[in-house]
């Protein structure tokens, strides 16, 4: 896991969602999480199904936010779990060893330890900066990435108000993926926005950083 971790906004317009997502894939987005907190079940199934096909076309993994039943029904590539969602242990039992399971750890190394021990595939930390989409206290310390990388062999994902500029120090600290919503989906040029995030990881690869 490496690069831009794209997260969908709460858009009901499926065609617009697909257009912008495809543009981001052309810009190098490495992974997609379908997240629509207010969608009715029928719309959620419609959008997730359409995005799964797009992900298959571009050979990108599709992660479903929160909804284990939807993940199972679609045979998506994995699920992302928040602090109040289905536990990692239960999700792993339901999905098996081959699927990706991400866990929101916010600013807590204790949550990261529990998620790692329960079978998570990656650890997500944040928010680091104010977000136009998600409302939370901006309390995550940047050095949590360094601590996490020293403590667990799992990929670290950073989220929360991410731009290519403010994400750069976190990538330099070892973050494997940068999760973004508004910086891509609300951009006038989503492909260019995705390419700017991708460039952070290309630069790290060229420098030989791990």
Query: Could you give the residue numbers annotated as active site?
Result: 35, 104, 134
Q: Within a 10 A sphere around the Cβ of 40, how many other Cβ atoms?
A: 10
3-state class of 122 per DSSP? strand
Question: What residue has token string 């994902």?
Answer: 157
By the 8 A CB rule, do 100 and 78 touch?
yes
CA atoms within 13 A on the CB side of 198: 16
Distance CA 162, CA 157 (A): 11
Question: What residue has token string 């600013």?
Answer: 107
What DSSP letter does each residue of 49-61 carry, written as one string? HHHHHHHHHHT--
For CA atoms 147, 101, 103, 201, give the dihedral sign: positive
Q: Which spans in 59-163 are helix H?
A: 68-74, 88-95, 109-118, 144-151
Question: What residue has token string 């399971």?
Answer: 101
């Amino acid at each position: 896991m490496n690069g831009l971790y794209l997260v969908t906004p709460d858009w009901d317009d499926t065609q617009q969602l697909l257009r912008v997502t495809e543009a981001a894939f052309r810009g190098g987005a490495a992974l997609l999480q379908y997240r629509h907190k207010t969608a009715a079940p029928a719309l959620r199934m419609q959008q997730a199904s359409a995005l799964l096909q797009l992900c298959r076309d571009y050979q990108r993994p599709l992660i479903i936010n929160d909804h284990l039943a939807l993940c199972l029904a679609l045979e998506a590539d994995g699920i992302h779990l928040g602090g109040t969602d289905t536990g990692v242990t239960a999700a792993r039992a339901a999905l098996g060893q081959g699927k990706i399971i991400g866990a929101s750890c916010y600013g807590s190394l204790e949550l990261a330890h529990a998620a790692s021990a329960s079978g998570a595939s990656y650890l997500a930390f944040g928010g680091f900066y104010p977000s136009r989409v998600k409302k939370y206290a901006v309390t995550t310390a940047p050095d949590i990435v360094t601590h996490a990388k020293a403590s667990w062999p799992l990929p670290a994902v950073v989220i929360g108000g991410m731009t290519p500029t403010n994400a750069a120090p976190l990538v330099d600290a070892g973050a494997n993926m940068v999760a973004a919503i508004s910086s891509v989906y609300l951009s006038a040029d989503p492909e260019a926005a995705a390419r700017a995030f991708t460039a952070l990881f290309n630069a790290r690869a060229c420098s030989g950083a791990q």
